[in-house]
Chain A
Amino acid sequence: MSPSSLPSPSPSPRLSSVSIQTEDFDLSAEVAALRSGDAGVGAITTFVGTVRDRHAGQPDAGSISAMELEHYPGMTERSIEAMIDDAFRRFDIRGVRVIHRVGPLQIADQIVLVAVTSMHRGESFQACEFLMDYLKSEAPFWKKETTPEGARWVDARVSDDAALKRWGIVSGNATGA
């Protein structure tokens, strides 16, 4: 087989897509689609966020029974596309897929997917974490939990702003500043 018949590993194809949806997603299918046709992919990093039944630091099982997610249609997609552009500037990556669910969710449901492909693992790990840190503090989603005491909006955490700071990005999300 001549080298010219092999799929080219370069230049970087820069695949990206964002979906805001009520439906669930299939991790395997999303990864297969993202890496499809790109022979330059040597690493795939994925993060899946799920609904848990308790708060961080308050390990009472069952203190949360369901969750609802609201977003800002239009702004949500634009802000995530801008953060993906930023990720492509910062890291040598080849593809990004982001899915964020909205609407009513049950315990153990999948909420969010961030998948990143790159030639080597370091860049995809970093870009995946960068995108999740960004999503937590800068993308317009709000979580509302159902608890035995009733429904309540989840407070932003200062630790999420701190996570973003390590990328050189100052966010006043948790403080509203």
Chain B
Amino acid sequence: MQIQIRYFASLRESLGAGETLTLDTPLTVGQLRDQLIARGEPHAGALARGRALRAALNQTMCAETAELTLGAEVAFFPPVTGG
């Protein structure tokens, strides 16, 4: 199952704009975050548990319990500060 990962703001600076990933099993957004953390640095630091991060699934804010589907676009980013 292929998914697209995107990073923004400080995460983009440390991890790049994103990547396409092929998953063997269905995952939630939180499980994907854990899998990326398990890669080690720089992902481990940038996505570390305890850091305030938000996620979006198919361009809508989501909880980490949201399930990835085929072709999903998932984004990780810091809390937003517009306006």
Contacts and interface: CB of A to CB of B under 8 A. Distances in A.
Interface of A: 49, 69-72, 74-75, 78-79, 100, 111-112, 132, 135-144, 153-156, 172-177
Given A49-B83, A176-B54, A142 B77 contact: yes
Interface string B1-39: 000001011101000000000000000000000000000
B40 interface: no
Chain B contact patch, size range: 20 to 34
Contacts of A175: 52, 79
Nearest to A112: B83
A146 B81 CA distance: 15
A135 B83 contact: yes
Contacts of A132: 83
Interface string B44-78: 00000001111010011100000000000001011
Given A72-B59, A75-B56, A156 B8 contact: no
Contacts of A174: 52, 79
